[in-house]
Structure 1
Amino acid sequence: MAVQNDPLALKLTPEMILSAYAHGIFPMAESAEASDLFWVDPDERGIMPLDGFYVSKSMKKLMRRDHFEVRVDTNFLAVITNCADKRSDSDETWINNEIIELYHMLFRMGYCHTVEVWRQGNLVGGLYGIAIGGAFFGESMFHKERDASKIALAHLVDRLNVGGFELLDTQFITNHLRSLGGVEIPREQYHERLHNALKIKGDFYRLDGGGTSEACLQSTSQMS
């Protein structure tokens, strides 16, 4: 991937972050303890096609049991701090205190959003990302219970489809995202899709199907 290796010398602002996303780049930190950020512009960009998200029969059955409640934008700090926690499959996180501070400001400005999965009053999974125009830039997700992050992603895809979005950027592709339909595309193709998506005015709140996970099943595509 293409990376600006030199640490960012200037103090980043929310406006700088939004401009960076609109130009196809995003900031990361080496670890939670790192004091510097750097720009990333991958040669191959991960995206989740909004007409290609895959939900298995077992996942569909789990969501219909309605053990989970899906909420949007109710507890940003809880979501991002859970995303920043070290996980069993990773020694480090790229979310440091500056990232948390910047994206919290973006949340208060209305650009950053969370999809949260709750069960019995406990936050058990979720994700956060940035919405600009008709593009949503997924940043990170977590789960404390099996499949909770999948439910969050399913709800996000449904919400973006209903809201008229055209691009769901996942930055990179993991085996988990690939199993759900995620793909990699060349940087040039990504920038073209981004350019077209930014011309659209997506509505993140258009989905009015209710707060439970059952609502995700109404328009998510390619269920088997």
Structure 2
Amino acid sequence: MAKAGYHHGNLRQALVDAALRLIEAQGPTGFTLSEAAKTAGVTPAAVYRHFAGRDDLIAECARQGHAIFADLIDHAWNEGRPSTLAAFEATGRAYLAFARKFPGHYMAMFESGVSMSRSPELAAVAQRSQAVLARAAAALTEQLPEGRRPPASMVAAHIWAMSHGVVELFARGTPGARGPFQPEELLEAGLGIYMRGMGLLPADRG
């Protein structure tokens, strides 16, 4: 029997919440729709009123995750204040914090294999976080002479890859990957080296 309140429209979110718990425990492909229904306290048939299949349910988990993620990194970037480097570091810390606090969303977004073009809604919200990094990269490259200015899209891709790599290797308990440095320290140092390598001299680092 469905839990009280589901007939008021809570069932869809209850299924998402159930899926997120299962993803955290078993991975994004380690559960069935029947398990999600059981965890949510409904019959398997009830799931199909809201989702065509497991991939649709995971895609909704990813969509909600991207919305949270975009808000977090946009807040962290803060339009480059108080300085570009400080804002970049804050954005990186927000990336790490998101992966730690929302592991189910993170796995649905980046480890499930669900395409970001699966639905217009998912594609649009995924582009929000990419747009934050694009603005940040543009602000960074504008400080360089035009002849030595790399494409902002390339810089954004480098920063995304660096942040994602630190998360995957050092912030999520990957066996054998623990080292003497905290993930935040690794990312901060990496961003500093990257920007110095482009010839930038951030005021807050001397």
With normalisation by structure 2, the TM-score equals 0.25
Normalized per residue, the structure richer in helix is: 2
Q: Which has the higher contact order (CA 8 A, sep 6+)?
A: 1
